[in-house]
Structure 1
Amino acid sequence: MLWVALVVNLAMFAVEIAAGWNAASAALLADAVDFFGDAANYAVSLFVLSMGLTARARAALTKGLVMGGYGLYVLGQAGWNALQGVSPDAVTMGVVGVLALTSNLAVAVLLYAFRDGDANMRSVWLCSRNDAIGNVAIVLAAIGVFGTGTAWPDLVVAGIMGALAISAAQQVVAQARRELATTGVRHAHT
């Protein structure tokens, strides 16, 4: 399932990075970076899947920190776009948003069973869940941009996506630290 998620995310990264730049959409660019981050997340998860809890927790800690960095990037990009005052192309946002939503829902369904796993697998589930939520928001932002003729719906969604990434990062980092503390206690007693 992680291999399918990896391929889907790499393909959607390519689609959204091109569409985001062409449409001048902070929300699509944010989602493109998220797709790339998720692809890396799945690749790391595949690499550490058969390793011990300590290795998986360390990988999750790294992924959590990267998710937090992504969130900060998205907030910065939204701020930059607000200063520039460029309105994105609503039609491109909407079409690509629906395509991304379909892709992320399929991945989320595949990974649903892992939502309560260790920090490594929980990070995989949280990424998928956040992506689907973000794609619904992008479609709504596209409607808002179309209706208002301004960039504000796009910027608001990019801000929400950034905050959501930071929140998920905090959860993953906290769980990974707990797992590392637990494995450290076990190793100290052996």
Structure 2
Amino acid sequence: MAGCCCNEHEIASRGLQARQKRMLWLVLTINAVMFVTEFTAGLIAGSTALLADSLDMLGDTMVYSLSLLVLARSPRWKALSAGVKGTIMLGFGGLVLIEAAYKAYAGSAPVSVAMMSVGAVALVANIACLILLTRHREDDVNMRSAWICSRNDLFANSGVIIAGALVWATASVWPDVLVGSAIAVLFVSSGWGVLRDARARYRQAGQLRPDSSTA
């Protein structure tokens, strides 16, 4: 009976990993396409908020790639992957803050119509990703960190649309700068949260190892 139970557990685990893999490949593709779209639009429109959101898409593409690599790995590997994701989020947050500071000093108002239209497309894409990830967010720390990244995207996309509307109404650079900065702060805050969670899970996984008492 014990062997049968172990066999059933292994089959269930492989089935879960297969479902996670299909879902991660799908959201990875969506984010990669949207990164290229938003980055190009951000450069053409001169929008810090769009560029910030595109970097978020690039970060998510890297995040989902890491998640795929550690699907069949141990809890410690998954915790390490989550830690890398947190570091990526912190790094992109810092880059966006630098860009926002430069734009505030020497920038001009971006193309508001491009901000709103591309931001709306990105919002729809990320809603689809969040729906796909939600059913797996409690599977493990690896999947939860991926879900957090996708959830943050909704705030970022909504901010881009609002900034575009305010730029259109005021012809000012400041809505773009402020929203871009807010997205960056969100990256930094979430990155610290993911790093704390990953550290705790890594230590917990070490304590659960069979040889932890002799390590």
TM interval, shorter chain, is over 0.9
Q: TM-score with structure 1 length normalisation?
A: 0.97
2:75 matched to 1:60? no
Q: TM-score with structure 2 length normalisation?
A: 0.86
* 1:44 CA drift (Å): 0.7
2:213 — aligned with what?
Answer: 189
* 1:170 CA drift (Å): 1.1
Task: Tell me the matched-pair count.
Answer: 190
Structure showing greater Rg: 2
1:74 — aligned with what?
Answer: 96
* 1:75 CA drift (Å): 1.0
The 1-side partners of 2:107 and 2:93 are apart by 21
1:46 — aligned with what?
Answer: 68
Q: Deviations over 1:26-66 (max 9, x none)?
A: 00001111101100100110110111100010111111011
The 2-side partners of 1:61 and 1:129 are apart by 18
* 1:114 aligned counterpart, secondary structure: coil
2:181 matched to 1:159? yes
* Deviation >3 Å, runs of 4+: none
Structure 1 gap segments, 5+ residues each: none
**Are the equivalent residues in 2 in contact too, given 1:44–1:59 (CA < 8 A)?**
yes
Q: How does 1:1-190 map to 2 (within 5 A)?
A: 1-187=23-209, 188-189=212-213
**Are the equivalent residues in 2 in contact too, given 1:72–1:162 (CA < 8 A)?**
yes
* 1:85 CA drift (Å): 2.5
**Are the equivalent residues in 2 in contact too, given 1:119–1:172 (CA < 8 A)?**
no
The percentage of aligned residue pairs carrying the same residue is 39
Structure 2 gap segments, 5+ residues each: 1-22
Task: Output the aligned Cα RMSD.
Answer: 1.1
